[in-house]
Amino acid sequence: MQAALILENGMVFQGRSIGSTETRICELVFNTSMAGYQEILTDPSYAGQGIVMSYPLIGNYGVNEEDDESRRPWAEALVVRHLSPRGSNFRCQGDLDTYLKQYHISGIEGVDTRALTRLLRCQGTMNAMVTTAEQTDWEACLAQIRSYRVEGTVERVTRQAEEVFPAEGTASFRVALMDYGVKQNMIRCLQKRGCEVTVFPAHAPAQRILDGGFDGVMLSNGPGDPADNTAIIDEVKKLYDSDLPIFAVCLGHQMLALATGAKTRKMRFGHRGGNHPVKDLKAGRAFITSQNHGYVVAKESVDPAVAEISHVNVNEGSVEGLLYKRPNCFTVQFHPEASPGPMDTEYLFDRFIENMKGGRN
Protein backbone atom coordinates (compact mmCIF):
# COMPACT_ATOMS: atom_id res chain seq x y z
CA MET A 1 0.00 0.00 0.00
CA GLN A 2 1.26 3.46 -0.86
CA ALA A 3 1.91 5.95 1.94
CA ALA A 4 3.02 9.55 2.20
CA LEU A 5 5.12 11.51 4.66
CA ILE A 6 3.92 15.12 4.65
CA LEU A 7 6.12 17.74 6.33
CA GLU A 8 4.86 20.99 7.83
CA ASN A 9 6.87 22.92 5.18
CA GLY A 10 4.73 21.32 2.46
CA MET A 11 7.27 18.76 1.22
CA VAL A 12 5.98 15.24 0.55
CA PHE A 13 7.96 11.96 0.53
CA GLN A 14 6.24 9.00 -1.12
CA GLY A 15 6.77 5.41 -0.02
CA ARG A 16 5.15 2.16 1.07
CA SER A 17 3.12 1.70 4.23
CA ILE A 18 4.57 -0.40 7.05
CA GLY A 19 3.05 -1.14 10.42
CA SER A 20 -0.34 0.42 11.08
CA THR A 21 -2.22 2.21 8.29
CA GLU A 22 -3.66 4.75 10.73
CA THR A 23 -2.84 8.40 10.05
CA ARG A 24 -0.34 9.81 12.55
CA ILE A 25 0.81 13.37 13.21
CA CYS A 26 4.06 13.71 15.15
CA GLU A 27 7.18 15.74 15.74
CA LEU A 28 9.66 14.27 13.29
CA VAL A 29 13.21 13.62 14.55
CA PHE A 30 16.13 11.56 13.28
CA ASN A 31 18.31 8.94 14.94
CA THR A 32 21.77 8.03 13.63
CA SER A 33 22.10 4.64 15.36
CA MET A 34 22.94 1.66 13.15
CA ALA A 35 21.25 -0.82 15.51
CA GLY A 36 18.94 -0.82 18.52
CA TYR A 37 15.69 0.09 16.77
CA GLN A 38 13.61 -1.86 19.30
CA GLU A 39 15.19 -0.10 22.28
CA ILE A 40 14.67 3.21 20.46
CA LEU A 41 10.98 2.53 19.79
CA THR A 42 10.40 1.53 23.43
CA ASP A 43 12.28 4.52 24.88
CA PRO A 44 9.51 6.63 26.49
CA SER A 45 11.44 9.79 25.58
CA TYR A 46 10.10 9.35 22.02
CA ALA A 47 6.45 9.76 23.06
CA GLY A 48 4.72 12.09 20.61
CA GLN A 49 7.51 11.80 18.02
CA GLY A 50 8.10 10.06 14.71
CA ILE A 51 11.57 8.61 14.18
CA VAL A 52 13.61 8.77 10.99
CA MET A 53 16.33 6.12 11.04
CA SER A 54 19.25 7.48 9.00
CA TYR A 55 20.81 4.02 8.66
CA PRO A 56 19.19 2.45 5.57
CA LEU A 57 18.49 -1.17 6.65
CA ILE A 58 16.18 -1.59 9.65
CA GLY A 59 14.59 -4.76 11.06
CA ASN A 60 17.30 -7.17 9.89
CA TYR A 61 17.66 -8.96 13.24
CA GLY A 62 13.96 -8.91 14.16
CA VAL A 63 12.51 -8.22 17.60
CA ASN A 64 12.42 -10.03 20.94
CA GLU A 65 10.92 -9.51 24.39
CA GLU A 66 14.27 -8.95 26.13
CA ASP A 67 15.16 -5.78 24.20
CA ASP A 68 12.12 -3.75 25.25
CA GLU A 69 13.14 -0.76 27.40
CA SER A 70 9.59 -0.18 28.70
CA ARG A 71 6.22 -1.90 28.68
CA ARG A 72 5.43 -0.84 25.08
CA PRO A 73 6.76 1.28 22.20
CA TRP A 74 6.00 5.00 22.55
CA ALA A 75 6.98 6.42 19.15
CA GLU A 76 4.11 7.60 16.96
CA ALA A 77 5.69 6.66 13.64
CA LEU A 78 8.77 5.10 12.04
CA VAL A 79 10.39 6.21 8.76
CA VAL A 80 12.96 3.91 7.11
CA ARG A 81 14.73 3.43 3.80
CA HIS A 82 14.26 -0.32 3.77
CA LEU A 83 12.41 -2.57 6.22
CA SER A 84 13.76 -6.11 6.31
CA PRO A 85 10.84 -8.53 5.74
CA ARG A 86 12.25 -10.97 8.29
CA GLY A 87 14.77 -11.04 11.11
CA SER A 88 17.88 -13.20 11.10
CA ASN A 89 19.26 -13.67 14.62
CA PHE A 90 19.30 -16.49 17.16
CA ARG A 91 17.34 -14.26 19.59
CA CYS A 92 14.70 -13.27 17.01
CA GLN A 93 11.09 -13.84 18.11
CA GLY A 94 9.29 -11.93 15.37
CA ASP A 95 9.58 -9.38 12.58
CA LEU A 96 9.51 -5.61 12.99
CA ASP A 97 6.53 -5.00 10.67
CA THR A 98 4.30 -7.28 12.76
CA TYR A 99 5.60 -5.58 15.92
CA LEU A 100 4.66 -2.15 14.54
CA LYS A 101 1.16 -3.40 13.64
CA GLN A 102 0.71 -4.95 17.09
CA TYR A 103 1.31 -1.59 18.79
CA HIS A 104 -0.46 0.58 16.19
CA ILE A 105 2.70 2.40 15.09
CA SER A 106 2.37 3.85 11.61
CA GLY A 107 5.34 3.80 9.30
CA ILE A 108 6.67 4.32 5.81
CA GLU A 109 9.55 2.71 3.91
CA GLY A 110 11.15 3.56 0.60
CA VAL A 111 12.00 7.09 1.76
CA ASP A 112 15.44 8.59 1.14
CA THR A 113 16.11 8.87 4.87
CA ARG A 114 19.56 10.40 4.45
CA ALA A 115 18.14 13.23 2.36
CA LEU A 116 15.38 13.62 4.94
CA THR A 117 17.96 13.69 7.75
CA ARG A 118 19.91 16.43 5.95
CA LEU A 119 16.68 18.40 5.58
CA LEU A 120 15.94 18.14 9.32
CA ARG A 121 19.51 19.14 10.14
CA CYS A 122 19.28 22.23 7.93
CA GLN A 123 15.72 23.35 8.64
CA GLY A 124 15.36 21.88 12.13
CA THR A 125 12.93 19.44 13.70
CA MET A 126 9.45 19.83 12.24
CA ASN A 127 6.00 18.30 12.49
CA ALA A 128 4.87 15.70 9.99
CA MET A 129 2.04 13.35 9.04
CA VAL A 130 2.35 9.70 7.99
CA THR A 131 -0.77 8.67 6.10
CA THR A 132 -2.16 6.24 3.52
CA ALA A 133 -5.15 8.51 2.85
CA GLU A 134 -5.38 10.78 -0.18
CA GLN A 135 -5.44 14.44 0.84
CA THR A 136 -8.31 16.43 -0.64
CA ASP A 137 -7.93 19.61 1.43
CA TRP A 138 -4.24 20.48 1.37
CA GLU A 139 -4.46 23.68 3.42
CA ALA A 140 -6.47 21.98 6.18
CA CYS A 141 -3.95 19.12 6.23
CA LEU A 142 -0.98 21.46 6.65
CA ALA A 143 -2.81 23.50 9.30
CA GLN A 144 -3.46 20.31 11.28
CA ILE A 145 0.20 19.29 11.04
CA ARG A 146 1.52 22.71 12.03
CA SER A 147 -0.75 22.99 15.06
CA TYR A 148 0.52 19.73 16.61
CA ARG A 149 2.52 20.00 19.84
CA VAL A 150 4.14 17.32 22.01
CA GLU A 151 2.54 17.80 25.43
CA GLY A 152 1.26 15.77 28.38
CA THR A 153 3.75 13.05 27.56
CA VAL A 154 5.28 12.51 31.02
CA GLU A 155 1.78 11.74 32.35
CA ARG A 156 1.31 9.25 29.49
CA VAL A 157 4.52 7.29 29.95
CA THR A 158 5.00 7.19 33.74
CA ARG A 159 3.85 4.19 35.77
CA GLN A 160 0.77 4.66 37.93
CA ALA A 161 1.95 2.92 41.10
CA GLU A 162 5.17 2.32 43.01
CA GLU A 163 7.17 -0.73 41.96
CA VAL A 164 10.10 -2.37 43.77
CA PHE A 165 12.98 -4.09 41.96
CA PRO A 166 15.25 -6.18 44.23
CA ALA A 167 19.03 -5.90 44.14
CA GLU A 168 21.18 -8.57 42.55
CA GLY A 169 22.55 -10.35 45.60
CA THR A 170 22.49 -8.61 48.97
CA ALA A 171 20.98 -5.14 48.91
CA SER A 172 23.50 -2.53 50.03
CA PHE A 173 21.47 0.57 49.16
CA ARG A 174 17.85 1.60 48.71
CA VAL A 175 17.33 3.97 45.78
CA ALA A 176 14.22 5.97 44.92
CA LEU A 177 13.92 6.36 41.15
CA MET A 178 11.49 8.95 39.77
CA ASP A 179 9.87 7.63 36.60
CA TYR A 180 9.49 10.45 34.09
CA GLY A 181 9.93 7.90 31.30
CA VAL A 182 12.59 5.59 32.70
CA LYS A 183 14.32 2.94 30.61
CA GLN A 184 14.59 -0.55 32.07
CA ASN A 185 18.36 -0.68 31.77
CA MET A 186 18.68 2.25 34.17
CA ILE A 187 17.03 0.05 36.79
CA ARG A 188 19.27 -2.89 35.88
CA CYS A 189 22.42 -0.76 36.20
CA LEU A 190 21.43 0.03 39.79
CA GLN A 191 20.35 -3.54 40.63
CA LYS A 192 23.67 -5.05 39.58
CA ARG A 193 25.44 -2.56 41.88
CA GLY A 194 23.59 -3.84 44.92
CA CYS A 195 20.66 -1.40 44.93
CA GLU A 196 17.07 -2.18 45.77
CA VAL A 197 15.21 0.21 43.46
CA THR A 198 11.79 1.63 44.24
CA VAL A 199 10.36 3.30 41.13
CA PHE A 200 7.85 6.09 41.78
CA PRO A 201 5.29 7.68 39.46
CA ALA A 202 6.33 11.08 38.12
CA HIS A 203 3.97 13.04 40.37
CA ALA A 204 4.85 11.27 43.62
CA PRO A 205 5.36 13.91 46.34
CA ALA A 206 8.94 14.54 47.41
CA GLN A 207 7.97 14.00 51.04
CA ARG A 208 7.15 10.34 50.28
CA ILE A 209 10.77 9.84 49.20
CA LEU A 210 12.21 11.92 52.05
CA ASP A 211 10.25 9.86 54.59
CA GLY A 212 11.09 6.54 52.95
CA GLY A 213 14.56 5.95 54.36
CA PHE A 214 16.26 5.88 50.97
CA ASP A 215 20.00 6.21 50.49
CA GLY A 216 19.72 8.20 47.27
CA VAL A 217 17.39 9.33 44.51
CA MET A 218 17.62 9.16 40.72
CA LEU A 219 15.67 11.40 38.36
CA SER A 220 15.07 9.61 35.08
CA ASN A 221 14.94 10.50 31.42
CA GLY A 222 11.60 11.32 29.78
CA PRO A 223 9.81 13.06 26.90
CA GLY A 224 8.72 16.59 26.06
CA ASP A 225 9.57 20.13 27.07
CA PRO A 226 11.03 20.11 30.62
CA ALA A 227 9.52 23.55 31.37
CA ASP A 228 5.99 22.12 30.97
CA ASN A 229 6.40 20.06 34.17
CA THR A 230 5.98 22.85 36.71
CA ALA A 231 4.42 20.71 39.47
CA ILE A 232 7.14 18.07 39.14
CA ILE A 233 9.87 20.73 39.19
CA ASP A 234 8.50 22.01 42.51
CA GLU A 235 8.89 18.51 43.99
CA VAL A 236 12.38 18.15 42.49
CA LYS A 237 13.39 21.36 44.29
CA LYS A 238 12.31 19.81 47.61
CA LEU A 239 14.53 16.80 46.90
CA TYR A 240 17.42 19.12 46.05
CA ASP A 241 16.94 21.02 49.33
CA SER A 242 17.37 17.77 51.28
CA ASP A 243 20.69 16.04 51.92
CA LEU A 244 19.91 12.94 49.82
CA PRO A 245 22.48 12.07 47.13
CA ILE A 246 20.97 12.82 43.70
CA PHE A 247 21.84 11.53 40.24
CA ALA A 248 19.73 12.82 37.33
CA VAL A 249 19.70 11.90 33.65
CA CYS A 250 18.34 13.71 30.57
CA LEU A 251 14.87 15.13 31.44
CA GLY A 252 15.71 14.76 35.14
CA HIS A 253 18.93 16.72 34.52
CA GLN A 254 16.95 19.49 32.79
CA MET A 255 14.24 19.70 35.46
CA LEU A 256 16.77 19.89 38.30
CA ALA A 257 18.49 22.72 36.42
CA LEU A 258 15.16 24.53 36.13
CA ALA A 259 14.45 23.90 39.82
CA THR A 260 17.72 25.62 40.75
CA GLY A 261 17.27 28.70 38.59
CA ALA A 262 18.79 27.76 35.22
CA LYS A 263 16.90 27.80 31.92
CA THR A 264 16.41 25.34 29.09
CA ARG A 265 15.99 25.90 25.35
CA LYS A 266 14.85 23.83 22.41
CA MET A 267 17.63 22.69 20.07
CA ARG A 268 17.44 23.00 16.32
CA PHE A 269 17.40 19.25 15.73
CA GLY A 270 18.56 17.67 18.99
CA HIS A 271 20.93 14.79 19.71
CA ARG A 272 19.66 11.28 18.99
CA GLY A 273 21.98 8.37 18.40
CA GLY A 274 24.67 6.18 19.91
CA ASN A 275 27.81 8.02 18.79
CA HIS A 276 27.80 11.48 20.42
CA PRO A 277 31.20 12.55 21.85
CA VAL A 278 31.12 14.14 25.30
CA LYS A 279 34.08 15.52 27.24
CA ASP A 280 34.33 15.00 30.99
CA LEU A 281 36.06 18.26 31.95
CA LYS A 282 37.43 16.99 35.25
CA ALA A 283 38.81 13.76 33.80
CA GLY A 284 40.08 15.58 30.72
CA ARG A 285 38.92 12.88 28.33
CA ALA A 286 36.09 12.25 25.88
CA PHE A 287 33.53 9.46 25.92
CA ILE A 288 31.16 8.22 23.23
CA THR A 289 27.59 8.41 24.51
CA SER A 290 24.02 7.43 23.74
CA GLN A 291 21.70 10.44 23.54
CA ASN A 292 18.06 11.27 22.93
CA HIS A 293 17.00 14.85 23.63
CA GLY A 294 15.63 17.91 21.88
CA TYR A 295 16.12 20.38 24.77
CA VAL A 296 19.28 21.48 26.54
CA VAL A 297 20.27 23.51 29.59
CA ALA A 298 21.32 27.00 28.45
CA LYS A 299 25.00 27.37 29.33
CA GLU A 300 24.78 31.10 30.13
CA SER A 301 21.95 30.50 32.62
CA VAL A 302 23.94 28.21 34.94
CA ASP A 303 24.80 30.09 38.14
CA PRO A 304 28.41 29.18 39.08
CA ALA A 305 27.45 29.58 42.75
CA VAL A 306 24.93 26.74 42.29
CA ALA A 307 26.64 24.37 39.86
CA GLU A 308 29.59 24.01 37.52
CA ILE A 309 29.47 22.52 34.04
CA SER A 310 31.09 19.08 34.26
CA HIS A 311 30.55 17.72 30.73
CA VAL A 312 30.24 19.37 27.32
CA ASN A 313 29.36 18.13 23.85
CA VAL A 314 32.54 17.90 21.80
CA ASN A 315 30.76 18.77 18.53
CA GLU A 316 29.12 22.06 19.53
CA GLY A 317 29.92 22.76 23.19
CA SER A 318 26.42 22.40 24.67
CA VAL A 319 25.95 21.46 28.34
CA GLU A 320 26.10 17.69 28.90
CA GLY A 321 26.51 17.58 32.67
CA LEU A 322 26.37 19.62 35.87
CA LEU A 323 28.15 19.13 39.19
CA TYR A 324 26.28 20.94 41.93
CA LYS A 325 27.92 22.79 44.79
CA ARG A 326 25.43 21.14 47.09
CA PRO A 327 27.09 17.87 48.25
CA ASN A 328 26.49 14.58 46.43
CA CYS A 329 24.49 15.93 43.51
CA PHE A 330 25.37 15.60 39.82
CA THR A 331 23.43 15.30 36.56
CA VAL A 332 24.08 14.42 32.91
CA GLN A 333 22.24 15.06 29.66
CA PHE A 334 23.28 11.81 27.94
CA HIS A 335 22.29 8.22 28.79
CA PRO A 336 24.93 6.37 30.85
CA GLU A 337 22.72 3.26 30.85
CA ALA A 338 22.93 3.26 26.99
CA SER A 339 20.50 0.71 25.47
CA PRO A 340 21.18 1.11 22.69
CA GLY A 341 24.67 2.51 22.56
CA PRO A 342 28.12 2.39 24.16
CA MET A 343 28.55 1.76 27.88
CA ASP A 344 31.53 4.13 28.25
CA THR A 345 29.84 6.24 30.91
CA GLU A 346 28.44 3.56 33.22
CA TYR A 347 31.13 4.77 35.64
CA LEU A 348 28.63 7.47 36.64
CA PHE A 349 26.52 4.85 38.39
CA ASP A 350 29.62 3.91 40.40
CA ARG A 351 30.06 7.59 41.29
CA PHE A 352 26.45 7.65 42.51
CA ILE A 353 27.16 4.59 44.68
CA GLU A 354 30.20 6.33 46.18
CA ASN A 355 28.08 9.38 46.90
CA MET A 356 25.55 7.23 48.76
CA LYS A 357 28.37 5.70 50.79
CA GLY A 358 29.57 9.21 51.61
CA GLY A 359 26.06 10.25 52.55
CA ARG A 360 25.94 7.48 55.10
CA ASN A 361 29.23 8.54 56.59
Task: Tell me if residue 253 is catalytic.
Answer: no
The pLDDT tens digits for 225-276 are 999 999 999 999 999 999 999 999 999 999 999 999 999 999 999 999 999 9
Task: Spot the catalytic one: 189, 195, 250, 329.
Answer: 250
Q: Please, which pLDDT band fits residue 207 given cuts at 50, 70 and 90? A: very high
Answer yes or no: is pLDDT of 360 > 70.
no
Task: Tell me if residue 337 is catalytic.
Answer: yes
Q: Residue 2 in contact with residue 129, Cβ under 8 Å?
A: no
The pLDDT tens digits for 141-175 are 999 999 999 999 999 999 999 999 999 988 899 99
Q: Cα separation of 257 and 302, whole Å?
A: 8
CATH placement of domain 154-360: 3.40.50.880
CATH architecture of residue range(s) 2-150: 3-Layer(bba) Sandwich (3.50)
Answer yes or no: is pLDDT of 119 > 90.
yes
Q: Where are the domains of the chain?
A: 2-150, 154-360
Give 147's DSSP letter.
T
* DSSP-based three-state secondary structure for 30: strand
Average pLDDT, the chain: 96
Give 166's DSSP letter.
P
Answer yes or no: is pLDDT of 361 > 60.
no
pLDDT score at 339: 87
pTM over 0.85: yes
> Sign of the CA dihedral 231, 332, 172, 45?
positive
Calculate the CA dihedral of residues 319, 79, 32, 146 and round it to 10 degrees: -20
